Every structure is written in C-alpha cells, then in structure tokens.
Structure 1
C-alpha cells in the first residue's frame, strides 16, 4: 500500500497560448514542486484539466512525470474515463510507467448512481490493477456522492485504500474518518481542519501556487503547533476563499503564474479570468507575498 500522507499537489498541466502542452515546462515545474518538499504529485488532476486532455496526452504526461520524479515523492495519476474499458486501459498504462496510486472518479454522466453499481464499477477496476485506488468524492461536479457507508464497503477491496473528499461537507468528511479507509482532503477551504481531524493528507490544487506554505502547514499540524498553523492559515485563507467561489482552475493557474509557477494559460473550453476577477485574485494573494518578503 502506498503511503499518501502529507501534501499531494494536484498538479497543473502547463499550456502554451495556443493550448498545446508545454512538456518542458511540465518537467521544470516538477522540479520546483519536489524541491518545495511536497510528498506527492497528482498528475492529470482536475486542476491539470484532465477532462480536456486526450488519453495519449495523459500517457505522455504520466510517463514523463514518473521518470522525472524518480521516486522522490509519490506519483498519483488520474485515470478517470466514461468508458469502462478505457478506465482499465488508462489505469494499467499508468501503473506500468510507475504510478504509486490511481485517482478515479465514480461513473459520472448517467452511469450507475446506486451503491451496488458504484461498488461494482470500482470492484472491476480493483481486480485489474495492482496499485492503490483513490476514489474521488466531488458530487458538485459528478452528481454522485459516495456515502460513508459505501466508502467503508469499498475499503474492503484489495486496492481501494483512499478517498479524496472534495465535497466540502465537513460532517461527511468526519464520518469518512470513522471508517476503515484512509481519507485525503480535497476541499481547499477546510484543509487545516481536515488535517487536525485526522485526514491522512491532502490532494490540493491550491498548492500549485503555494507549495512551500502547504508543506509548512502540514508540518506544523504534525508537530501540533496549532497556533503557528492557524497564523499561516489566515494568510492562506483569502486566496482559498477566492478560488473556491471563482472559476477554480483558471484562478489556481493564474495565482500560480503570479507566484512564479507556470504560464497561467488554460485549455478551451476554460477561459482566463476577467480583469475584475484578476484584480480580486491579486488582492487575495497579498498576504502570501507578505510571507515571502
């Protein structure tokens, strides 16, 4: 079983202005994030615009990424797809190039939404791979909520050992923590409190623009230095509140660009922030620049 504790950075995919992937910059960003001390990199995450990447692009990103990371931190690859055979094919390919774990959405877009149907979906994948599966609870995007009861049932499978919880319902999050499974927080605005409550770690999009601060926050919680953790959190929070309510991925990528990580470009159909949104984001980031100065 992979140990996915700590900061698993949901890594951006850097794009050129025309929407092509900048693979050279992708490798440069890996170096920056590994140097910042992150415990894992999630390649092809939602923040990496997985829905708008082709299967071949994902395969290349995962192969390049695993090779560049070279065991210095965990490699998690998202292998979600609508077609069952494609999920398994993507998953086996990611495993073959060195993925430590696979992040997989439930069967969204008119797939089975009953608990038996979701369980059987993951059960088939579980039997086809030999690395950890990270289920993904993000009902605001998929329309499917993984109940704590279902998560506990899924945790009885051989490889289904984690769930990424991005729903933002802290009550459900704590119910997950009462099961036998391992929980990774995915809601930016509850990160500190999820870690304090016992989440094993996080899969964190906002870490793209504040990797060192994210690692520091985790280390402070582990050390039970909650006063300093809360002080750091207060400097993080304005930008986290902004990105959670604004267009998420364009906000994270723009924030990352402003702090020296990436191009800020998105791939269609996503669009960059408006001038008004950009001004508000800059204001929300001000406390983080004060930390760095």
Structure 2
C-alpha cells in the first residue's frame, strides 16, 4: 500500500517545454531561465524531454545537453527527471545511461509505442531499463498516445523492482489508479491537470503538469491547500484552473503547442515547435492569454 506523502521526486513537477531559438536550435540559455523561474515559483521537480518537451524531435545529444544545462541552473533545488522512453528498448537503455551521466535524478519511461507489445513484453521492457541504470524510474502510462496501457496487474508486478518507484498517470482510469495505490508503494503523479486534486485525494504523490509551465504557483497551491487540510480551498483552486486547463489541453491542440504559444505571449523562453507540430494561431493565443490572466488575478 502506498504510504501517504511518498514523493520520490517531489510533489509539484512541471513537464517542461524545450525552448528553441527562432531558427529552431536548442535554446539552452532559455531553458535555464525557464527552469529557474519554475523552481522559484514552486516546482520542486522538472521533467525534461517528455511529451511536452518534444522528445520525438530532439536528438540524443540535445536531450543530454538539456539535462546538464538545467542541472546547472537549478542545482539541488529541484529534482530532474529525464524522459528517455522510445519505441526501442535498446535505444531507451542508451538514453537512460546518458541521462544518468548528465546528472538526472530519475527517469521517465513511456510505454513502447506503435509496435503495441503485449503485457509480458511491456513488463520486460521496463525491467530491462530499470536493471541497466542506477536511477529510479517513473513509468509513463499514456495509452492515448502509445496505443498500449500498462495494465494495473502489470504495474503491481513492476512495483516489486526496487528502482521502479513512481508513475506518471495519464490513463484516465481512477479505479485502476486506486487499485495500484492500494497494493503497492508506487508514487502516483497526476499527468492530466484536471486530475491534480483527485489523484492527491486518493493517495497520489502530486502532479507532473504541462499547464504548470505557465502557472506553477497556482497548481502548487492546490496541493498546499489540500495537504494543510483546507479541502474547500483546494477544490476552489482546482476549479479556477479549469478554463485554462481546457484551453491548453482539451481544445484540439497538443499541450506543447499551447504552452509555447502562451509562454511566448508572456515574454518567456519558448520559441517555435518542431515539425510536424505547428504553432498556435493568434486567436488561440489570445484566448489562452485571457484565461491565464483571469486565473492569476484570482489566485
């Protein structure tokens, strides 16, 4: 059974975008500036090179450079979890070892995608990566993108591995989440922003949030209120964030696109998205900015 308060990478984690220059190159100065801001505004962990970090279109060398730069910027003020998941077990192991050398504190490993492996193969994939590296792993369960679920029974077996310690939960299955929480010590992080309070309330560790790129204080405040016993305040804060969550995550565009559009409008490091993604249009950015301003005005 999960111990309440188990937070191997912190409670409030941002799934950080990867800033690029206008020419499309990796912007390490921008990444350091953004990382410092996120930590100063309440994030105690940063997830790099995940979905929001455009991992499919960054090179292995860029991923390692990003970890090194962000570690330099935040020091020991926050944990760094490096996204290393690919569709290829061998490549994932290589990325895991490089992230460890670069200074990451943990690894985010997504279910292999496209090939749709059965559950025994999914389990073997994660075990091989956990065996290869000395870093703790967070399993990334996002079947809507990968096409393959990490089934609760598979998750329960994987929890027996000493280096598999956490889950980024984007499965939209609160019943399955609670089954695993009741039978393991895994730390569950809400990977969908609308589930931040719900996941914490059933024993989750916290969140790994895309919307926290622009509103880190507001999302940290949900957890702080709940943990202080102010359930009504936590509900109020979660509900106030819903308009921005909906525009950023459920309006037909990937969160990477909306996060970069809004960050750019706020004068913060972001830059363009890489193809095949395309930037948010002016009307979309204006709507995001209005929702953001409304949220920060009341929180």
Q: TM-score, normalised by structure 2?
A: 0.91
For the structure 1 residues 225 and 151, does the alpha-carbon distance in structure 2 shift closer, same or farther, using more than 3 Å as the test? same
Q: Does structure 2 conserve the Cα–Cα contact (< 8 Å) formed by 1:106 and 1:118? A: yes
Change (3 A) 1:264 1:210: farther
Structure 2 residue matching 1:203: 3-state secondary structure: strand
Q: Secondary structure at the match of 1:8?
A: strand
The answer to whether structure 1 residue 116 and structure 2 residue 123 are counterparts is: no
1:256 to 252, 263, 267: 263
2:271 and 2:58 map into 1 onto residues whose CA distance is 17
Residue number in structure 2 paired with 1:8: 13
Q: What do the CA deviations read for 1:187-244 (whole angstroms, capped 9, x no partner)?
A: 1111111112211121111100001112222211111211222222222110101222
Question: What CA distance in whole angstroms lies between the structure 1 residues aligned with 2:9 and 2:151?
Answer: 22
| Displacement of 1:276 | 3.5
> Contact conserved, 1:2 with 1:101, CA < 8 A, in 2?
no
Superposed counterparts of 1:84-233, under 5 Å: 84-112=89-117, 114-180=118-184, 181-233=186-238
Is 1:66 paired with 2:71? yes
Given that residues 189 and 205 in structure 2 are in contact (C-alpha distance below 8 angstroms), is that contact kept between their aligned partners in structure 1? yes
- More moved, 163-172 vs 217-226: 163-172
Q: Could you tell me how far 1:287 is from its partner in structure 2?
A: 2.0
CA distance in 2, matches of 1:243, 1:172: 26
Residues 162 and 182 in structure 1, CA contact (< 8 A), matched pair in contact too: yes
In the other structure, the counterpart of 1:274 is 281
* 3-state SS of paired residue (2:108): strand
Distance (Å, rounded) in 2 between the aligned partners of 1:49 and 1:58: 10
Residue 290 of structure 1 pairs with residue 294 of structure 2: no
Q: Corresponding residue for 2:3?
A: none
Rounded to whole Å, the distance in 2 between the matches of 1:58 and 1:224 is: 39
Match of 2:48 in 1: 43
Shift of residue 256, structure 1, vs aligned partner: 2.7
The CA deviation at 1:93 is 1.2
Relative to 1, partners in 2 of residues 1:115 and 1:263: Cα closer, same or farther, differing over 3 Å?
closer
CA contact (8 A) 1:101 1:133 kept: yes
Tell me if 1:56 matches 2:61.
yes
Aligned residue pairs total: 291
CA contact (8 A) 1:91 1:129 kept: yes
What SS is found at the alignment partner of 1:46? coil
Residue 260 of structure 1 deviates from its aligned partner by 4.5
Question: What's the CA shift string for 1:138-195, capped at 9, x where partnerless?
Answer: 0000001111111000101121111111122323222332230221110111111111
Does the residue aligned with 1:178 lie in a helix, a strand or coil?
Answer: helix
User: What is the CA–CA distance in structure 1 between the aligned matches of 2:24 and 2:211, rounded to whole Å?
Assistant: 22
Aligned mates of 2:36, 2:94 — CA distance in 1: 28
